[in-house]
């Protein structure tokens, strides 16, 4: 008895007892499990409830014959692959053609030959067994291919997401590098400055949220970068967002990103600053300018380190350390209802107050010399020193714009300088922003004015020089501010800063897009 035969069941369909007896005895001895049916109807009923591995089907039977039984059998989906061997005494070729047309796989002729019956049964059961194995292998292969395809698709999506992230980080960091080139190191040895630096050194290695407070121009971003550089996150980028430079309608997209189709113009998935800063630091400059609705969403990110991009229901988890900065008294904004109290206390975990330049007068000279050397290198000029008279006046000025004010003064003087000594002339009328005070209750101090080289008309004020310089760059770029060869690049400034200065200085399109030679004179 074949060891494999016992695994197979065979249905014998025949109305002749002698044939059934012969086949039952022959097949059982060979190790097959045998069932019998006397006609086509009972055979179909058995096939429906308990399909065998092979069917031996007589052709001539009462009721429906073997041809019709086979046709009906083949109409049932779960029986279409079962081998069917016709048993016939007919030798007419036309009957054999009818048998195959009805769906038979083979036939044996009566009277039966023992060896022939077993041989044909073994062949068809082996073939069916191999077909089943092949089908199983194909299904397994298809499943493995589908799983591998899904893995590759997922990996490709990850690669594309990483590529997109790197491209966005690259674009952002290129902008950051151009801005950082103007920052330099923190200069000064005054007690007020050193006290602030000690706070930075203490909190930098932690993940505590830091709120930097200081007047405009005191170096809040420089301190934020120092915090990041001394932190455990220094190998990841510090991402910056100036909250005052982004419109209320776009600030959420800048912070949290958006998906394609989230709003008009959202043609692709874009990562926000939180996602770009994952693993690193996010610096929120002028955080007081955030709309109240966005403040609520920022509070959630600070508490749970998760958010949903604009237009998406998918939650993104991040690990970001937040440093915020403001030049306003946030507690006053809280009392006035302009800033959420819960967000204020979440940001104000570790406050760092930066001194104004008038509170650290001993640092003015070292800062001025630092800016002078940097501008000399940048402009390729042989400037080596600042005149004593200029240093004296620099030290006695209130600097309402703080370090940035001093830097701009030195830069403009360097632009106009033609020798080795830098000098700044002074108008004795105080600037409008500090008229009547020197910041400490005393009399107003003079406003610095850079002197022009011999043969060049003197500028009337610092703002006038700046206005003319920005207009000149805008004329060169035909009014284009951003992008390669834009005015911001020529001025080595952030585009948002250029637009802010244009607004403050009253620069309109008529100033740089109109030929001044054809403009009517405004003089009497």
In a domain, 167, yes or no: no
Confidence of residue 171 (pLDDT cuts 50, 70, 90): low
Taking residues 246-265, report their average pLDDT. 82
Instruction: Give me the pLDDT at residue 271, please.
Output: 85
CA distance 262 to 319: 25
**Number of residues that make up the chain:** 524
CA distance 398 to 447: 9
User: Is the bond into 111 cis (omega within 30 degrees of 0)?
Assistant: yes
DSSP string, 123-186: HHHHHHHHHHHHHHHHHHHHHHHHHHHHHHHHHHHHHHHHHHHHHHHHHHHHHHHHHHTTT---
DSSP string, 257-315: -B-TTSSTT--S-B--HHHHTTTSEEEEETGGGS-HHHHHHHHHHHHHSEE--BT----
pLDDT digits (tens, 9 = 90+) for 452-489: 444 444 445 667 888 888 998 899 888 888 888 888 88
Q: What is the CATH classification number for the domain harbouring 332?
A: 3.40.50.300
Q: Tell which residue, 96, 100, 65, 60, has the closest CA to residue 84.
A: 100
Q: Average pLDDT, whole number, for the chain?
A: 84
Q: Quick check: 74 pLDDT over 70?
A: yes
Task: Indicate the range of 17-31, 80-94, 432-446 predicted with least confidence.
Answer: 432-446
pTM above 0.85, yes or no: no
Q: What is the 3-state secondary structure (H, E, C) of 320-366?
A: CEEEEEECCCHHHHHHCCCCCHHHHHHHCCEEEECCCHHHCHHHHHH
Q: Quick check: 327 pLDDT over 90?
A: yes
Q: Are 357 and 192 in contact (CB under 8 A)?
A: no
Instruction: Give me the pLDDT at residue 211, please.
Output: 97
Domain end marker among 301, 325, 355: 355
Q: Are residues 440 and 469 in the same domain?
A: no
Q: Looking at per-residue confidence, does 80 or 514 come out higher?
A: 80
Q: What is the CATH classification number for the domain harbouring 446?
A: 1.10.8.60
Q: What is the CATH classification number for the domain harbouring 105?
A: 3.40.50.2300
Q: Are residues 288 and 209 in the same domain?
A: yes
CA distance 180 to 203: 22
In a domain, 484, yes or no: yes
Orientation of helix 66-75 relative to helix 40-49, angle to 10°: 20
Q: Are residues 454 and 518 in the same domain?
A: no
Q: Are residues 428 and 511 in the same domain?
A: no
Instruction: Give me the pLDDT at residue 196, please.
Output: 94
Q: Quick check: 519 pLDDT over 60?
A: no
DSSP string, 446-493: PEEEEPPPTTSPPPS-HHHHHHHHHHHHHHHTTT--SSTT-HHHHHTS
Confidence of residue 247 (pLDDT cuts 50, 70, 90): confident
Q: Quick check: 522 pLDDT over 70?
A: no
Taking residues 189-207, report their average pLDDT. 94
Q: Are residues 404 and 389 in the same domain?
A: yes
In a domain, 432, yes or no: yes
How many other CB atoms are there within 10 angstroms of residue 89's CB atom? 11
Taking residues 182-210, report their average pLDDT. 88
Q: Quick check: 352 pLDDT over 60?
A: yes
Q: Are residues 349 and 270 in the same domain?
A: yes
Instruction: Give me the pLDDT at residue 223, please.
Output: 95
Q: Are residues 332 and 202 in the same domain?
A: yes
Orientation of helix 388-396 relative to helix 364-379, angle to 10°: 130
Q: Are residues 9 and 81 in the same domain?
A: yes
Q: Are residues 419 and 434 in the same domain?
A: yes
In a domain, 157, yes or no: no
Overall domain count for the chain: 4
Q: Quick check: 91 pLDDT over 80?
A: no
What range does the domain containing 94 cover?
Answer: 5-132
Confidence of residue 78 (pLDDT cuts 50, 70, 90): confident
Q: Are residues 377 and 268 in the same domain?
A: no
Q: Which tokens go with 71? A: 């046709």
Instruction: Give me the pLDDT at residue 514, please.
Output: 65
Q: Quick check: 434 pLDDT over 50?
A: no
Q: Are residues 83 and 103 in the same domain?
A: yes
Taking residues 16-22, report their average pLDDT. 90
Q: Quick check: 158 pLDDT over 70?
A: yes
Confidence of residue 524 (pLDDT cuts 50, 70, 90): very low
Instruction: Give me the pLDDT at residue 457, please.
Output: 45
Domain end marker among 104, 132, 160: 132
Domain end marker among 340, 355, 370: 355
Confidence of residue 426 (pLDDT cuts 50, 70, 90): low
In a domain, 506, yes or no: yes
Instruction: Give me the pLDDT at residue 291, please.
Output: 92
Instruction: Give me the pLDDT at residue 159, please.
Output: 80
Specify which residues 46 forms β-bridges with: none
Instruction: Give me the pLDDT at residue 173, please.
Output: 61
Q: Are residues 185 and 328 in the same domain?
A: yes
pLDDT digits (tens, 9 = 90+) for 125-154: 999 889 889 988 999 999 999 988 888 888
In a domain, 190, yes or no: yes
In a domain, 321, yes or no: yes
Instruction: Give me the pLDDT at residue 269, please.
Output: 78
In a domain, 175, yes or no: no
């Amino acid at each position: 008895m074949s060891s494999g035969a016992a695994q197979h069941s065979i249905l014998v369909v025949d109305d002749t007892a002698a044939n059934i007896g012969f086949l039952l005895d022959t097949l059982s001895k060979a190790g097959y499990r045998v069932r019998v049916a006397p006609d086509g109807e009972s055979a179909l009923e058995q096939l429906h409830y308990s399909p065998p591995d092979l069917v031996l089907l007589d052709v001539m039977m009462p009721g429906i014959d073997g041809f019709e039984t086979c046709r009906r059998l083949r109409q049932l989906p779960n029986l279409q692959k079962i081998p069917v061997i016709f048993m016939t005494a007919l030798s007419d070729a036309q009957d054999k053609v009818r048998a195959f047309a009805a769906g038979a796989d083979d036939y044996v002729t009566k009277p039966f030959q023992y060896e022939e019956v077993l041989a044909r049964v073994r062949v068809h059961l082996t073939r069916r067994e191999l077909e089943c194995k092949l089908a199983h292998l194909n299904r397994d292969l298809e499943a493995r291919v589908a799983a591998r395809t899904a893995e590759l698709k997922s990996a490709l999506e990850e690669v594309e997401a990483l590529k997109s992230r790197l491209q966005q980080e690259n674009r952002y960091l290129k902008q950051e590098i151009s801005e950082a080139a103007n920052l330099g190191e923190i200069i000064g040895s005054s007690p007020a400055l050193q006290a602030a630096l000690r706070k930075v050194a203490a909190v930098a290695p932690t993940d505590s949220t830091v709120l930097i407070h200081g007047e405009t121009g005191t170096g809040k971003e420089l301190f934020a970068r120092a915090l990041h550089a001394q932190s455990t996150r220094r190998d990841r980028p510090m991402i910056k967002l100036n909250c005052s430079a982004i419109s209320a309608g776009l600030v959420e997209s800048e912070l949290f990103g958006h998906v394609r189709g989230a709003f008009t113009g959202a043609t692709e998935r874009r990562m926000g600053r939180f996602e770009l800063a994952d693993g690193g630091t996010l610096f929120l400059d002028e955080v007081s300018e955030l709309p109240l609705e966005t403040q609520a969403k920022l509070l959630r990110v600070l508490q749970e380190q998760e958010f949903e991009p604009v237009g998406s229901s998918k939650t993104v988890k991040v690990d970001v350390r937040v440093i915020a900065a403001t030049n306003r008294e946030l507690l006053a904004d809280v009392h006035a209802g302009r800033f959420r109290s819960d967000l204020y206390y979440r940001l104000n975990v570790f406050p760092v107050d930066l001194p104004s330049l008038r509170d650290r007068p001993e640092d003015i000279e070292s800062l001025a010399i630092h800016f002078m050397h940097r501008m000399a290198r940048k402009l390729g000029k042989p400037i080596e020193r600042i005149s004593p008279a200029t240093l004296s006046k620099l030290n006695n000025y209130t600097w309402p714009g703080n370090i940035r004010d001093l830097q701009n003064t030195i830069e403009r003087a360097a632009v106009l300088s033609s020798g080795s000594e830098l000098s700044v002339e002074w108008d004795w009328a105080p600037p409008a922003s500090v008229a009547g005070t020197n910041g400490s209750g005393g009399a107003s101090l003079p406003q610095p004015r850079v002197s022009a080289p011999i043969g060049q008309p003197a500028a009337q004020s610092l703002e006038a020089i700046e206005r003319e310089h920005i207009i000149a760059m805008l004329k060169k770029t035909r009014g284009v501010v951003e992008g390669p060869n834009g005015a911001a690049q020529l001025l080595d400034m952030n585009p948002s800063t250029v637009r802010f200065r244009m607004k403050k200085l009253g620069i309109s399109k008529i100033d740089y897009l109109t030929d001044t030679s054809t403009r009517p004179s405004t003089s009497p």
